[in-house]
Structure 1
Amino acid sequence: MGKSLMYLLQTDEKPNRRRNLFEEAKKLDILVKDKNGEAYMVPNTAFDVGMLDLTHPLTAGWFKQILQEMVDDGVRGWMADFGEGLPMDATLYSGEDPISAHNRYAELWAQINREFVEEWKINSVGKEKEDPEETLVFFMRAGFRDSPKWGMLFWEGDQMVSWQANDGIKSAVIGLLSSGLSGYAFNHSDIGGYCAINFPIIKYRRSEELLLRWMELNAFTIVFRTHEGNKPSCNTQFYSNDKTLTHFARFAKVYKAWKFYRIQLVKEAAENGLPVCRHLFLHYPDDDKVHRLSYQQFLLGTEILVVPVLDKGKKDVKAYFPTGETCPWQHIWTGRLYKKPGCEVWVEAPLGYPAVFVKVGSIVGETFLENLRNLNIL
């Protein structure tokens, strides 16, 4: 997995650099400019960067050539990071108002990346053209109205490595569901979050429990993907010990077990825009209780109900079974049936056994359970 950026850093002091993309872009005059006509150096954490002017006619071709070189080296996927940071006082080649162009910039960023993917498909031959494993994919975090038209996958940016609702594991669910209602059908978060803080007076470090619960959550999203975070040494990683590796392997299998349904939901999203992960009110709009839910639970399509553990130290969750549903819900781990619509029930959910339910009599549910058995998860 690679990473592509519209931000370019001066690399003169980097001893092992092969190319200085910043200087190349500067010579081509394809960087966003400040009011004085100089390359606009945008503050980015501990350093300043130049930003590609996506309205310049030379930018797309130059950047696609970089992507081509990356793909020629064997890369088949990349993070098309950033896209949201066009300065409000920048000067663009197009001459347009930077405030008006700010949101459109994210769309152009998605469009250039997607155009490269489509052009690569057209020009591919042999195994690259026939083998689905050779398909290119990119994911991004910035977006505006037309971004889903161009973006292949999205992720929710950099959550804190915490249990918080404002910026942590709970916010990952809120963002997942709200973005799904806004046309972003294929979205996900970094397993374990990203932002750690290690100051003397305040510390946010990814705990083992948080990482394991985030694995359980993301096994039921469109992408099951880890990230070491901004401070890897402060965070528990999936490879930290036997417990984390075993848990990761277990939920990679859970993720695999509903692949057949994920493919179906992706096709459905392409046809009608419905997200893969859905807030319950999309299918139970007349249930007032459903309208008060935020991060507590969600649906995969219509057939799987997920009630993740999102609080430290908790080993049970409160599941709500909506009114308007005629089929009972079956707990995947115990087989217990919940037949009464409109009721709340406390369900045990120790590590490794998040509260997940399938509709009784559902072909999707039966296939999912059978796949779990075949993978020795049940």
Structure 2
Amino acid sequence: MKQQFFRLIILFFLGGLAMTVQAGSLKPGACLSYETNGNKAIFNCENNIQVEVEDMGSGILKIWYDTNGFSRNNESFAVIKKGDPSARLNVLEQPGSYEIYTGELIVRIEKSPFQIRVFDKYQKLLMEDFQDRGFEADSTKMSSYKTLKPGEHIYGLGEKNGPLDRVGSRFKMWNSDKPCYSANEDPLYKSIPFFMSSSGYGIFFDNTYKTEYNFGEESDNYYSFSAPGGEMEYYFIYGPTYPQIINRYMDLTGQPIMPPAWALGFAQCRGMLTNEQLTRDIAKGYRDRQIPCDMIYQDIGWTEYLQDFEWRDGNYDNPVKMLADLETEGFKVIVSQDPVISQANKRQWQEADSLGYFATDVRTGKTYDMPWPWGGNCGVVDFTNPKVADWWGDYQQKVLDDGVRGFWTDMGEPAWSNEESLDRLNMKHHLGMHDEIHNVYGLTWDKVVTEQFEKHNPNTRIFQMTRAAFAGMQRYTFGWSGDSGNGNDVTNGWKQMEAQLPIALSAGMCGIPFWTTDISGYCGDITDYDAMSELYVRWLQFGAFNPLSRIHHEGNNAVEPWLFGEEAERIAKKTIELKYRLFPYIYTYAREAHDTGMPLMRALVLEYPDDSEAANLDSEFMFGEELLVAPVLEEGAAFKKVYLPEGDWLDFNNPQNTFTGNQWIDYPVELETIPMFVKEGAIIPQMPVMQFIGQRVDYPLLISVFPAGINKKASFNVYEDDGETNNYKSDVFVKRKIQCLTKRTGLEIICKEAVSNGFAAQNRNLVYQVHMAKKPASVLLSGKQLKTFKLKKDENILPDTIEKAEWSWDEIAGNCFIRIPANFADQKIVIEN
């Protein structure tokens, strides 16, 4: 339904036409007839309203209300899945209803008044229109109302403030530049109109306008979603589990791309990090102190003009040499992009203006004059114009050829286009007016950046991190949560940091598995580093479990770890090293995110949906399936209140401490403590601490084994690929399957490789760290008893070389260490009681 649909509604009202609807609204009324066409059924209703139900396969239904032959202004920006038109949708007509059977679902449609109900194949009601309000429209908006069941929970909408469970809240989609946003502010930078219900389904509302969501705020009986323009077209996505819903949402909108392996290390930035000497000094600071780091960002001022991709004169003596030197030290440099051309950049501005590459002002037909917070007034590059792509790609390739390794696309809302900026609605893009394009503007930009990167740099994995986005962003880019922190008092940013955790978890549920906060908070001047040190440490401890950990702050506020005092530096180094040690575990779950859409940081409800305590728990998270992390978010904390779900849990920091699940505990903490727990029956692969990812390719694996109960198995498939190319999309990788079976007589451990498409797997020495209650009687490798060795105090448990298989017992920690050379890695180990 285009804008003319709403003009039609207004004419209906002005003309005083008699309609069998409630006063002030238009509804389908009664269904008069139906017709089928392949995998679609079209129901013809009163008031010239038609309803199309399309079986997309895989438990997904498209439901579309229209009065104009089911045409859109634009094809969907987010949906890539196509239904099978050769399939046949069968409709069974009953006296008062129609029924559609899809295999997984039953759709029952009441004839009068028109109402849609969706059941699973066992006749369990999943979703239903609320009374006759499945569709209604007036002169301002169109809406769909659904029944809200007692006790129903709703999650989603991406990066949104507030509790994880959205019931009782209202939200709006309008990508907004909100520096120093409060813990309750809405809208923020991204628009992801996808949510999930505890009743076993999700809904993706495929509308790019300023949509609104009311999840039971005005009534306990229903929730609604609405839009002032565009189409009432939404997708019902069956699960019934949350992981299944997320996976099918990925099927609908695209699989997440994997970042380069090095992007899962740590990154350093600041607002005024825009010159060569400072960049070199920061790199030297990290390497001199042996604090791991992989990336250094350059913020907006790295270039003289927006956005000519030319290094700023006077700031960089020899940027090509700088990039090459940093690369030899293991640093990748990422530079910012803005989606505009400054008018002061006369040559490029005139070029783009003459080619028609800017959004225009509908009042004048000329380039829209956009105020911009950096570099003066600008032209807004119209990335919806297909001719822009190659032009922009050639420009951005200049710095990639210099040695830059990726981009962060900033200010793509576009900035200074919040709700109050009504003049922006006069912008006309190639594909439509700004009210339609605003929320997808950043997505169209990120699409161009990635597709042009891949065109110029074939089979190279892109790194691109974005602030403003729409559903489907995962096909092109990664995310960060924008300008968080307390701008008035930087040391009082505890609430802002705390609010980042549910934002991260909600983002992960909705197709943003690779994400980061700005560690330290972006906002506020730091005048007292000692006063800031506790908050800095706690933010970094949380940020270490963000897949794309980036330390960043505004202006020239330096936030390198060594600036906050010796204790903070020591803790920061230890925390960063923990992330690097966990890289094999993290990278394995990065692959799972690509395959399934499941995030690395997981709300507990994703793993424990039947646990009532997990339903709205946003102060902790699962990191993958095996680890539970509960970062300390409170100033001066002596304890962290942690909920442990079902099962038995071990303290990752001290595995001799065990806890029974289904309970809250008060976990004592010091400043250096990150409360972490591991499931009994888990295997956690780790590697030696390196100064950057890939510093050593033949590193040994540390396999921490937390055995399961008697007759049960612990297992983990360690994933590896080349870390740089897109060959992973063709399943070129290796997985090492590690399994530990617990018997009454002891343990059996097996490591086997499953190679896909001929990936050349690196031979690795293995060190098993098996957590046990008592010293083994013996350890056998392929039936032969191994000799013991004495583990010396402070000895590296992951030595550079392992010449023979042997084992040792650590009485204090309760660890059995078994060293296995690479050539024996696939042989069975037996640990006898």
Give the distance between the partners of 1:136 and 1:351, measured in 2 at CA.
Answer: 37
1:170 aligns with 2:501: no
Q: As a proportion of its length, which structure holds more strand?
A: 2
Give the distance between the partners of 1:8 and 1:112, measured in 2 at CA.
Answer: 16
Residue of structure 2 in register with 1:350 after alignment: 670
CA contact (8 A) 1:192 1:214 kept: yes
How large is the Cα RMSD of the aligned pairs?
Answer: 3.1
More deviation, 189-198/37-46? 37-46
1:222 aligns with 2:541: no
Structure 1 residues 236 and 154: alpha-carbon distance in aligned structure 2, compared to 1, 3 A threshold = closer
Residue of structure 2 in register with 1:68 after alignment: 397
CA contact (8 A) 2:425 2:434 kept: yes
Residue of structure 2 in register with 1:275 after alignment: 599
Shift of 1:283: 0.9
Shift of 1:291: 1.3
- Equivalences for 1:180-259 in 2 at 5 Å? 180-196=508-524, 207-227=532-552, 229-233=553-557, 236-240=559-563, 241-259=565-583
Give the distance between the partners of 2:452 and 2:577, measured in 1 at CA.
Answer: 32
Between Structure 1 and Structure 2, whose CA radius of gyration is higher?
Answer: 2
CA contact (8 A) 1:237 1:244 kept: no
- Equivalences for 1:354-365 in 2 at 5 Å? 354-364=674-684
Aligned match for 1:43, one of 371, 391, 406: 371
Give the distance between the partners of 2:520 and 2:413, measured in 1 at CA.
Answer: 23
Give the distance between the partners of 1:119 and 1:180, measured in 2 at CA.
Answer: 29
**SS at structure 1 position matched to 2:383:** coil
Aligned match for 1:309, one of 632, 642, 648: 632
Shift of 1:198: 8.6
Shift of 1:287: 1.0
More deviation, 30-39/299-308? 30-39
Residue of structure 2 in register with 1:318 after alignment: 641
Aligned match for 2:352, one of 18, 21, 25: 25
Residue of structure 2 in register with 1:91 after alignment: 427
Give the distance between the partners of 1:83 and 1:192, measured in 2 at CA.
Answer: 23
Shift of 1:218: 1.2
Q: Alpha-carbon deviations, 1:115-138, whole Å to 9, x = none?
A: 02322342x7xxxx6xxxxx5311
Give the distance between the partners of 1:119 and 1:330, measured in 2 at CA.
Answer: 48
Sequence identity of aligned pairs in percent? Answer: 25
1:298 aligns with 2:621: yes
**SS at structure 2 position matched to 1:57:** coil
**SS at structure 1 position matched to 2:479:** strand
Give the distance between the partners of 1:195 and 1:259, measured in 2 at CA.
Answer: 30
Shift of 1:354: 1.0
Amino acid at match of 1:256: Y
Aligned match for 2:342, one of 6, 9, 26: 9
**SS at structure 1 position matched to 2:470:** coil
CA contact (8 A) 1:277 1:299 kept: yes
Q: Alpha-carbon deviations, 1:315-339, whole Å to 9, x = none?
A: 32111001xx33x211122224343
**SS at structure 2 position matched to 1:367:** strand
Give the distance between the partners of 1:104 and 1:252, measured in 2 at CA.
Answer: 35
More deviation, 240-249/138-147? 240-249
Structure 1 residues 236 and 263: alpha-carbon distance in aligned structure 2, compared to 1, 3 A threshold = closer
Shift of 1:81: 1.3
Structure 1 residues 198 and 24: alpha-carbon distance in aligned structure 2, compared to 1, 3 A threshold = farther
Residue of structure 2 in register with 1:55 after alignment: 384
Shift of 1:196: 1.4
1:333 aligns with 2:634: no
Normalising by structure 2, we get a TM-score of 0.39
1:143 aligns with 2:469: yes
Residue of structure 2 in register with 1:15 after alignment: none
Q: As a proportion of its length, which structure holds more helix?
A: 1
Shift of 1:243: 4.0
Structure 1 residues 374 and 253: alpha-carbon distance in aligned structure 2, compared to 1, 3 A threshold = farther
Give the distance between the partners of 2:512 and 2:401, measured in 1 at CA.
Answer: 30
Normalising by structure 1, we get a TM-score of 0.82
Give the distance between the partners of 1:197 and 1:310, measured in 2 at CA.
Answer: 21
Amino acid at match of 1:222: P
Shift of 1:175: 1.1
Q: Alpha-carbon deviations, 1:335-357, whole Å to 9, x = none?
A: 24343222111112212221111
Q: Is there any run of 5+ residues in structure 2 with no aligned partner, and where? A: 1-333, 418-423, 686-701, 706-766, 770-795, 800-812, 814-833
1:101 aligns with 2:443: no
Shift of 1:164: 5.2
Give the distance between the partners of 2:768 and 2:525, measured in 1 at CA.
Answer: 40
Structure 1 residues 20 and 253: alpha-carbon distance in aligned structure 2, compared to 1, 3 A threshold = farther
Residue of structure 2 in register with 1:261 after alignment: 585
Amino acid at match of 1:60: A
Give the distance between the partners of 2:662 and 2:549, measured in 1 at CA.
Answer: 31
Shift of 1:156: 1.0
Structure 1 residues 302 and 136: alpha-carbon distance in aligned structure 2, compared to 1, 3 A threshold = same
Amino acid at match of 1:334: N
**SS at structure 1 position matched to 2:471:** coil
Shift of 1:93: 4.4
Amino acid at match of 1:300: F
Q: Alpha-carbon deviations, 1:55-100, whole Å to 9, x = none?
A: 2233211211122101011100221112212754143342513211
Q: How many residues matched?
A: 350
Structure 1 residues 230 and 375: alpha-carbon distance in aligned structure 2, compared to 1, 3 A threshold = farther
Give the distance between the partners of 2:768 and 2:385, measured in 1 at CA.
Answer: 51
Structure 1 residues 247 and 20: alpha-carbon distance in aligned structure 2, compared to 1, 3 A threshold = farther
Q: Alpha-carbon deviations, 1:253-280, whole Å to 9, x = none?
A: 1111111111111111111111110000
Give the distance between the partners of 2:654 and 2:597, measured in 1 at CA.
Answer: 34
Q: Is there any run of 5+ residues in structure 1 with no aligned partner, and where? A: 13-18, 130-134
**SS at structure 2 position matched to 1:274:** coil
Give the distance between the partners of 1:116 and 1:352, measured in 2 at CA.
Answer: 44
Shift of 1:371: 10
Amino acid at match of 1:268: E
**SS at structure 2 position matched to 1:207:** helix
More deviation, 67-76/36-45? 36-45
**SS at structure 2 position matched to 1:2:** strand
Shift of 1:38: 3.2
